[in-house]
Amino acid sequence: MLKRLRSALVLLVHPRRLWREHRRWAIALIALVAIGVAAVIVGYETLKRPADVHNETAISHFKPEKPKEPPKEVHGEPKTVNWPMYGLNPQRTRYLAARGVRPPFRKVWRYTQRPLLEFPPIYVGGVLYAVNNSGFAFALNAKTGKKIWERRIGRLNASSPTYYKHRLYIVNLVPGHIVKLNAANGKIIWKKSLPGRAESSPVVVGSSVFFGCEDGKLYSLSTVNGNVRWATQLSGPVKAAPAYYGGRLFVGDYGGSMNAANADTGKLIWSTGSLGTGISGGQFYSTPAVAFGRVYAGNNDDRVYSFDMSNGELAWTYSTGGYAYSAPAVASTKHSPPTVYIGSFDGNIYALNAKTGSVRWSRSTGGQVIGSLSAIGEIVYIAEFTNQRTIGYMMHSGKKVFTYPKGTYTPIISDGRDLYLTGYSSITALEPIHPVKPRVGNAVVAPNFRYPQRVGGKAISRGFVAPSPVRAHPGAAAAGAAHRAHRRGKARSEGGR
C-alpha cells in the first residue's frame, strides 16, 4: 500500500512521466481539476453579494411633493396636533412639520416603569397612549405625566397602539391576539385571537383595521366586531407595520419581499423580492414609508430599498454597513430636499436623496441604531442603542444639535409644541425654552443664551440680543432732517433778540 502511494506521489511530482505512462489517468485528473475550479467560480458568483441597483427608468418616475406647512399658530402659540399611530400617519412618514419645536429643551416630567418600552407612545387630544413589553397598556396625561388608566392585555408586546374615533387597536405577541379598547378608560370592547404572534402596529382606515402576523398573512378585520374580512398569504412572517396610501397597503415580510395589496379585497397587486446578501436572502423588519410615488424601507441584508409605488419596480438600493433594521423618516422641507433618513446597525445615520439614493450626508451616532427615526420641524432624531441616548441632527446639514441621556429603540414623538422622548423604560416630556422677550426702550429684544450684547452703547445682561435696526424710509429721513434744521434756525433767531 505504501509502495503504491509512493509511486502515485512520484507521478504527481513528475507530470510528464504521468502523461507518458498513464495518459488516461492524467486526462481524468485534468478534467477533475477543471470541474473543481469551475465549481469554485460558480459558487462564488452564486454566493457573492449582489451589487446595488440604480434603475434610471424607475428613478425618472419620482413624484416631488411640496414641503408641508406647520399648523397656524393660535393666539401666538403653536397649535397642538395629534400623533395617532406608529409613524404619525397612514403613510408612516414620521415627519411632523412644526414651528419652534427645537433645542434647547427643559424637562417637564418623566414617567418611569421597569418594563421595557420598545415602541413609542402615541398622542391624541392631550393624552399619551402606550404599551410596555410586559403587555400593560396605559394612558398618561400629557401635561403632567400622571397615569389615567392601565390595563393588561397580554404577557409580551412590541408595538404601538393605534387611535381611531375614541378607540385603541393593539396587536400582541403573547398571546397572539388583537384587542380594541375604549380610549377613555382602557376597557376591552372586543378581542380576536390570531394564529400567530403579532407585533405589526395596526393602521385603521374607515371600518377596517389592517396589520400583519407571524403566520405570514396580512389581515383586514372589521373595527366593529373584529371579524376577519380577508387574510392574504405573503412569502414569510410579517413583523413590520403596513403603510396605507391610495387604497393600497404596503408591507415587507421575512421571506424578503415587499408587497402591495388592495385594501378592499386583499388581492396582491405586486410583490418584489429583495437582493439578499448572496449567502442568504433579505428580510424586511423595517416598516415602510410611502412618499414621492415610492415605498422606502430598510432590510436585514444591510440595504435601504426604494420601490416604485405603482408596480413595485426597484428604483434604487443603498448598502449600509450593517442591518438596516430601522424604519425610515421621509420628508421634504423648506430647507431640505426630499430625503430618506435611516439608521443602521453600523452605528450611522444616513440622509439619502429620496429620488436617486445618493448620500446627502451621514454621521456616526456612536452606537447601533435599531429603531425607527422621527423628524420634527427641521431636526431628525434617532435613538442610539449602545449608549442609550437620543440624538438630533439638522436635516439640511447633519449638524448635531441635540443629545439626551435617555433612549434605546425609538426616539420621540411630538404634539407640535413639546417632545415626548422614549427611554428604555421611561417617557420624558420636554418643552422648548422660549423666555419672555424683554423690552429695551421701544425695541423688543430677542433672547440669546450665548453672548452679552449692547444696545445704544449700553451693555445688556448676558443672554439677550438687540434686534436689527429698523431702516427709515428716505423721504422720512429727509423730512426729519429738514424739521431739525428748522428748529435750529428758529432757536438762533430767538437767541439773537
Q: What is the pLDDT of residues 104-151, one digit of tens each?
A: 999 999 999 889 999 999 999 999 999 999 999 999 999 999 999 999
The pLDDT score that the predictor gives to residue 166 is 98
- pLDDT (average), residues 190-199: 98
Q: What is the pLDDT of residue 326?
A: 95
Return the percentage of the chain with pLDDT > 70, whole number: 78
DSSP type of residue 56: H
Q: What is the pLDDT of residue 76?
A: 76
What mean pLDDT comes out for the span 24-45? 62
Secondary structure class of 376 (helix, strand, coil): strand
Q: Global pTM?
A: 0.80
Give the C-alpha separation, 377 to 432, whole Å.
Answer: 13
3-state SS assignment for residue 422:
strand
Q: Specify the residue for cell string 400582541.
A: 172
Whether the CB-CB separation of 413 and 373 falls below 8 Å is answered with no
- The answer to whether residue 451 scores a pLDDT higher than 70 is no
Report the SS3 class of residue 23. helix
Q: What is the pLDDT of residue 347?
A: 96
Q: What is the pLDDT of residue 281?
A: 81
Model confidence band, residue 50 (pLDDT cutoffs 50, 70, 90): very high
| C-alpha–C-alpha distance, residues 342 and 310, integer Å | 23
13-17, 406-410, 485-489 — which is least confidently predicted? Answer: 485-489
Q: Which residues make Cβ contacts (< 8 Å) with residue 105, sequence separation at least 6? A: 402, 419, 430, 431, 432, 433
Residue 79 in this model has a pLDDT that exceeds 50:
yes
If one compares 41 and 484, the residue with the highest pLDDT of the two is 41
pLDDT band at 1 (very low <50, low <70, confident <90, very high): low
Closest C-alpha to 173, from 154, 145, 188? 154
